[in-house]
Amino acid sequence: MLLSDDEADIKRWVGELGFWGPLFIIVAMVVQMFLIFVPSPLLMVVAVLAYGPVLGTILAIVSVMISSTIGYFVGRMIGEEALYRLIGKSKEDKMESYVSQYGLWVVIISRVSPVFSNDAISFVAGILNMKFLKFIGATFVGITPLAILIGWFGENNDRLRTGLIWTSVICVVLLVAYIIFDRRRNKKLQME
């Protein structure tokens, strides 16, 4: 049902859960961290469709914050070897390298852009022992614009797709520009 494109059915189905609906979305967001094939923005759209743009956006943010917190502490507990098996060594190595080098900015960009893995960043931040308050603050700063965008455009699939594509493109360009700037700055500092 969640993967269907029928907005009315999704809204009706989640609405039938009544009081348990928000809890279902939060639990689904946590479970989704371990199911790579279900993107977290999809569950954010479900929250908006089921509860409207304001309450759905708030529910989406709360769900991501809870699932990110759990992912962070799972990362702290499981260590690198288990993470390799969960998301793959090459993906974990890339995330680890970027988090080590660029810290909070990688967390923020990965949250605001639906292209990057929202889930892997939580595990990697935990494994690298990033300070929890910095991690969760960066998660909030990054996920809030995406949630608002989904809340704003979420009731129209075409507008939502266009908005998410543009958000992703802008985030990738900003991240690449920052990495290039940072590398040039580091080279210049090394030459001095």
Q: pLDDT, tens digit, for every residue of 12-41?
A: 777 677 778 888 888 888 888 877 656 677
Give the model's pLDDT for residue 62.
Answer: 94
Find the helix packing angle between 118-127 and 40-87, rounded to 10°: 50
Tokens of 75: 């990362």
When pLDDT is averaged across residues 93-103 and rounded to a whole number, the result is: 70
Task: Establish if 143 belongs to a structural domain.
Answer: yes
Task: Establish if 180 belongs to a structural domain.
Answer: yes
Task: Establish if 31 belongs to a structural domain.
Answer: yes
| Cβ atoms of residues 116 and 110 within 8 Å | yes
Cα 147 from chain centroid (whole Å): 10
Identity of the amino acid at 95: M
Largest CA distance in the chain: 65
Query: Domain range holding 97?
Result: 7-191
Give the model's pLDDT for residue 133.
Answer: 94
Cα angle for residues 103, 116, 154 (degrees, 5° grid) = 120
Span 148-174, pLDDT tens digits: 888 887 666 667 777 777 777 777 787
Task: Establish if 135 belongs to a structural domain.
Answer: yes
Per-range mean pLDDT, top range of 29-43, 57-71, 111-125: 57-71
Task: Establish if 89 belongs to a structural domain.
Answer: yes
- Residue in the structure block whose two tokens are 């809204």: 11
Task: Establish if 1 belongs to a structural domain.
Answer: no
Span 175-191, pLDDT tens digits: 788 778 888 887 887 77
Report d(CA 8, CA 54) in Å as an integer. 18
Residues 6+ apart with CB under 8 A from 178: 102, 105
Q: How confident is the model at residue 63 (pLDDT cuts 50, 70, 90)?
A: very high
Task: Establish if 151 belongs to a structural domain.
Answer: yes
Task: Establish if 2 belongs to a structural domain.
Answer: no
Domain tally, the chain: 1
The whole-chain average pLDDT of the chain stands at 78
- Measure the N-to-C terminal CA separation of the chain; round to a whole number of Å: 59
In three-state secondary structure terms, 136 is helix
